[in-house]
Chain A
Amino acid sequence: MTELTATIAPTLAPTRKGKPSLFATLWSRANLFTRINLGAFALVLIVAATAHWIAPFDPDAQKLLARLKPPMGFAGANGTNILGTDQLGRDLLSRTLHGLQLTMAIALIGSLISLVLGTTLGVVAGYARGWFGGFIMAVVDIQLAIPFTLIALVVIAVFGNSLPVLIITIGLAGWEVYARIVRAQVLATSRMPFVEAAVAAGAKHDRILFKHILPNIVSPIIVVWTMTFSALILAESSLSFLGLGVQPPTATLGSMVGLGRDYLASTPWIALVPAIAIMFVSLQVLLIGDWLRDALDIRLK
């Protein structure tokens, strides 16, 4: 949650002087379950951000004598590797923490790319309209019609698999959702009396956009952001799982599951530890997204 407020605070600040912050208002209305969930998600973000310091071992360090050790509490576990080790004797807890960090970083940067791209194009399509706006919406329709996995496969086949390609691919995954919703919101807001009044008073386009229209469409953008974030985590994990993500030995949660599946029969924890981490994080983000949508009372068409 800390990350989320940090991103939106600058946009909100000028319009909400003297009022309690949006997050404080939402927090006061949240029920216990949501608060626990928000707290847990904040913890996940902190853990991901500080993985370099809190991971007990180097995630890529191999200890061949301590290979395939099960997590603590299972027969044959050693005392030092809390979540066990993988086939090369690498500490699973450290790898999961670093994988979580990379997964979150990719999803975060990717979601910011799609947010900026989609919002800009949505504003252009909704405010300037004209042939260019029509063109943007045609591209949106086409991308909505094609499964993202296909686009990702083609992009990765063409540019190879590396971290920048992965991030840009993830960034391309969600922009059309922003563009569609932002355009609809801009169209609706442009017809509001206060915008018409501003136009009549002779306000310039930049003032109308940044002062009157954008502040009014921040809430739907935040909701789309949270709702697409879990989809991006899953998209990244799926691509990495298929071996189309980052190159080894660097690992994200998805690629750890992908590599661990070869050892599923004998040492299932190698795949299960990161798999549970993905499931936990994606469930959290989904719940937060649902809660935000209801709390901000946004109906997304």
Chain B
Amino acid sequence: MLDQLARRTLGAIATLGVVIVAVFFATRLSGNAADYLLPPGIDANTKALMVTRMGLDQPLLLQFWHYLQGLFSGDMGTSLFERRPVLDIYAERLPNTLMLFAYALGLAVVLGLPLGLAAALNRGNALGAAISSIAFVGYATPNFVLAIIIILVFSFNLHWLPSSGSMSPIHFLMPSIVLAAPMLAEIIRFTRNAMLDVLGKDYLRTARAKGLPEHLVVGKHALRNAAIPVVTIIGLQVAGMVARVVIVESVFATKGIGDLVVFAAIGRDYPVLQLGVILIALIVVSSSLIVDFAYAALDPRVKVAAS
């Protein structure tokens, strides 16, 4: 058990290590960043000066060494465009992304659990079928399509919500809904299936047979046992959410790290792209590690599966 968790932790650290190495060498593969950054026809002296200032003329391995040193001392270089420390830019942007995560996760869990429960208890009737099909459509709709539809409805037709920006909490409502949608669908589906699984168990029949009121049978016996797979799926969804935040932020012009990373990729702003990729990988890897530990804590029978 502990052995498994230790192995998972090691695996997570190794993954991060690979990301850190890969992202450095990948971003250096495309040739000299100076060719791309400086305007064509610039005179040779200015160009040489810029290259030296950016440290792009040093041998690759030396650049890598400086990069590692910087990584562990918190100096991640300067944005090639904004001319200010990358870390400052991320410090400014990260709260917006985390806020979006928190809203989306809250929305998906608060709506998903009761809806999944309702779908399980109403299996075979219209309500159950309706919830399940809405969940399926939510799962199949690409997030940018959903984004465009709700912008059209809530911003341009009803004029209720602002279509873009990140100035006030109200600006986070639509991006959170879009970010939450696939996760909501997954939570509904898993809660429903887990509940259906548990509802057929003998101990529920026993609970009913001894005269326990129905709300206790469902609330205490069924829901608790159904919670375990649901926790797993919530953890797994965090990875998907991180991937989607890139698109969602860019549609709604939310000033978060997703939007930043896309611009860095388009503009080849290496220092920004590097830290963004490392940061996102860190969020994903640590969240799946947290799920492993939570899973072990929730269910003492669990041997962390090797899947």
**Chain A residues proximal to chain B, CB less than 8 Å:** 138, 141-142, 145-150, 153-160, 230, 234, 237-238, 241-244, 254, 257-258, 261, 264-265, 268, 271-272, 275-276, 278-279, 282-283, 286, 301
Contact = CB atoms under 8 A, between A and B. Distances in A.
A149 B246 contact: yes
Contacts of B242: 147
Contact of A158 (B11, B26, B143, B264): B26
Contacts of A159: 30
A230 B140 contact: yes
A293 to B, nearest CB: 14
B257 to A, nearest CB: 11
B262 interface: yes
Contacts of B98: none
B273 A278 contact: no
Nearest to A149: B243
Contacts of B307: 301
B142 A234 contact: yes
Given A157-B264, A264-B152, 13 more contacts: A142-B14, A142-B19, A145-B15, A145-B281, A146-B284, A150-B280, A153-B265, A153-B277, A154-B23, A154-B27, A158-B30, A268-B152, A276-B145
B10 to A, nearest CB: 11
Q: Give the interface residue-count category, chain B.
A: 35 or more
A283 B23 contact: no
Interface of B: 11-12, 14-15, 18-19, 22-23, 26-27, 29-30, 136-137, 139-145, 148-149, 151-152, 156, 163, 239-240, 242-244, 246-247, 250-251, 261-262, 264-266, 268, 273, 277, 280-281, 284-285, 288, 307
Contacts of A238: 142-144, 247
A192 B217 CA distance: 44
A257 B284 contact: no
Nearest to B274: A154
Contacts of B284: 145-147
Q: Which of B140, B143, B250 has the largest number of chain A CB atoms within 10 A?
A: B140
A141 B11 contact: yes
B149 A275 contact: yes
Given A264-B156, A268-B152, A141 B15 contact: yes
A154 B261 CA distance: 10
A286 B246 CA distance: 23
Contacts of A157: 27, 30, 264-266, 268, 273
Nearest to B22: A154
Contact of A283 (B137, B151, B261): B137
A254 B246 CA distance: 15
Contact of A272 (B30, B148, B247): B148
Contacts of A146: 15, 19, 281, 284
Contact of B281 (A150, A244, A264): A150
Binding site secondary structure of chain A: helix
A150 B21 CA distance: 15
A265 to B, nearest CB: 5
B35 to A, nearest CB: 12
Contact of A154 (B141, B266, B277): B277
A241 B261 CA distance: 15
A257 B273 contact: no
Contacts of A160: 30
Q: Which of B26, B27, B145, B239 has the largest number of chain A CB atoms within 10 A?
A: B145
A230 B285 CA distance: 25
A93 B266 CA distance: 29
B264 A283 contact: no
Contacts of B240: 147
A275 to B, nearest CB: 4
8 contacts: A142-B18, A242-B246, A254-B144, A264-B163, A268-B152, A276-B145, A278-B145, A283-B140
Contacts of B273: 153-154, 157
Contact of B142 (A149, A237, A244): A237
A1 to B, nearest CB: 18
Given A146-B281, A150-B280, A150-B281, A279 B266 contact: no
A244 B265 contact: yes
A176 B257 CA distance: 27
Contacts of A275: 142, 144-145, 148-149
A242 B247 contact: yes
A160 B247 CA distance: 19
A237 to B, nearest CB: 6
B25 to A, nearest CB: 10
Contact of A150 (B12, B27, B142, B243): B243
B145 A156 contact: no
Nearest to A285: B140
Contact of B247 (A141, A241, A265): A241
Contacts of A265: 156
Nearest to A160: B30
B250 A242 contact: yes
Contacts of B29: 158
A181 B250 CA distance: 34
A229 B183 CA distance: 20
A159 B30 CA distance: 6
Contacts of A234: 142
A142 B139 CA distance: 25
A126 B136 CA distance: 34
A160 B35 CA distance: 14
A271 B30 CA distance: 33
A268 to B, nearest CB: 5
Nearest to B30: A158
The 3 A-B residue pairs whose C-beta atoms are closest, nearest first, are A147-B243, A157-B265, A153-B265
